[in-house]
Chain A
């Protein structure tokens, strides 16, 4: 649960929430509706988001094996799911732990160029898929994941 929302509910045990608190609560509820919509779009259009990325990868890296490209795509599919779940729960810590996990898996591979390409393509695809409002709630998580995973190298494995 969103930490601020959780704090409000804890406060409501001791007293009725004041108007300011209710306003904050209402903002979070409205934001949750946006997040749910964004989550649903990302879930339903996962294949649509990633297929053009896969096609571009095959063209851009003709000498890479299909297995290598597929493995990279799998990690990024997984990262997107983690981002979506973190957005739904408004929980950056959740995402951090999963990014650290993926970093450990990706760090042993020498695929930084592929990952950087997926990073750029994915940002474009997501921007083209979500509405402005949905993008606003999802982008911070995606940005964090992209920054994290596109820089994973064999030397900075954690």
Chain B
């Protein structure tokens, strides 16, 4: 016997918290963007993304990649905290209490609503210690400098490394293996423990495919 009355009383039937039409709010008079909880949001125009790449390259040369990665890590740390708070406030449960599908759907929608493209998690290599993230329509890839000639989404790689580190309680690293800026149909990111995933950087430099890189990492 299932009692609908009990079902309605005991469990909150949450809606789509991260829907773009309700999540992002603006105050034209003050020139502010906020999410539905009142947290400030930052709008980043394409020109600024291009300028960040160009400015960092000019100021720091090849260290621009590391700077972007570290900025991403810092960003990801705060992103994780805010994500957890929002989940807790709205769905009335901690991330750890969520089913994987619920967590992923929330994360996917937040990523999309934030304007960072479409996120998907590939668990093919999960049992060998790697998570693979696939992102399409990334604004960070579309505005990448053409002369870098390598995967460029260091900011996202930093965000993902930091976010999943906090989620799993382990210090994880992230390497991008394919990039839309190089003609790939999506951006692949391999996430895992530092000593296991860092060799991927050299394999990326050798221009191996994502599958080849993952196969070598799993050896």
Interface residues of A (CB under 8 A from B): 46-47, 50-51, 54-55, 57-58, 66, 69-70, 73-74, 77-78, 81-82, 93-94, 97-98, 101, 104-105, 108-109
A104 close to B108 (CB less than 8 A): yes
A117 to B210, CA, bound (A): 42
Do the beta carbons of A66 and B16 come within 8 Å of each other? no
A15–B13 CA distance with the chains assembled, in angstroms: 45
Quick check: is B7 within 8 A (CB to CB) of the other chain?
yes
Partner of A77, one of B8, B101, B104: B8
Do B2 and A69 touch across chains, with their CB atoms under 8 A apart?
A: yes
Chain B residues closer than 8 Å to A94, beta-carbon distance:
21
Name A97's contact: one of B4, B5, B19 (CB within 8 Å): B19
Q: How many residues of B contact A (CB 8 A)?
A: 21
Give residues 74-114 of B contacting A (CB, 8 Å).
Answer: 101-102, 104-105, 108-109
> Which residues of chain B are near A81, meaning CB under 8 Å?
13, 15
State A55–B57 Cα separation when bound (angstroms).
65
Contacts of B1 in A (CB 8 A): 55, 58
Which of chain B's residues have a CB closer than 8 A to the CB of A50?
4
- Of the residues A55, A70, A105, contact of B7 by C-beta under 8 Å: A70
Nearest A residue to B101, CB-CB: A108
Specify which chain A residues have a CB less than 8 angstroms from the CB of B16 in the assembled complex.
97-98, 101
Q: Would you list which residues of chain B between 3 and 39 have a CB under 8 Å from chain A?
A: 3-5, 7-8, 11, 13-16, 19-21
Set A66, A73, A105: member contacting B101, Cβ < 8 A: A105
Majority secondary structure, A binding face: helix
Q: Taking chain B's interface residues, is the majority helix, strand, or loop, or is none over half, making it mixed?
A: helix
Instruction: Tell me how far the C-beta of A63 lies from the nearest C-beta in chain B, rounded to whole angstroms.
Output: 15
The residues of A that contact B109 with a CB separation of less than 8 Å are 101, 104
Bound form: Cα–Cα A77–B21 in Å: 21
Q: Is the CB of B105 within 8 A of A105?
A: yes
A-B residue pairs in contact (CB < 8 Å), sample of 20: A46-B8, A47-B4, A50-B4, A54-B4, A57-B2, A58-B1, A66-B2, A74-B7, A74-B13, A77-B8, A78-B14, A93-B21, A97-B16, A97-B19, A98-B15, A104-B104, A104-B105, A104-B109, A105-B102, A108-B101
CA distance A51 to B8 in the complex (A): 11
Cβ-defined contact, A101 with B19, below 8 A: yes
Does A97 lie within 8 Å of B105, measured CB to CB?
Answer: no
Q: In the complex the two chains form, what is the Cα distance from A72 to B19 in whole Å? A: 21
Cβ contacts under 8 Å, A93 to chain B: 21
CA distance A57 to B11 in the complex (A): 19
Besides A46-B8, A78-B14, A82-B15, 17 other A-B contacts (C-beta < 8 A): A47-B5, A50-B4, A51-B5, A54-B2, A54-B4, A55-B1, A69-B2, A74-B11, A77-B7, A77-B13, A78-B13, A81-B15, A97-B19, A104-B109, A105-B102, A108-B101, A109-B101
In the complex, chain B residues whose CB is within 8 Å of the CB of A47: 4-5, 8
Q: How far is the CA of A57 from the CA of B14 in the complex (A)?
A: 23
Contact, CB under 8 Å: B13 / A97 = no
Q: Which of B2, B14, B21 gathers most chain A CB within 10 Å?
A: B2
Closest Cβ of chain B: how far from A149's Cβ, in Å? 14
With known contacts A82-B15, A97-B20, A73–B105 Cβ distance under 8 A: no
- How many angstroms from the CA of A121 to the CA of B131 in the assembled complex? 41
A77 to B5, CA, bound (A): 12
Cβ-neighbour of B21 out of A54, A55, A97 (below 8 A): A97
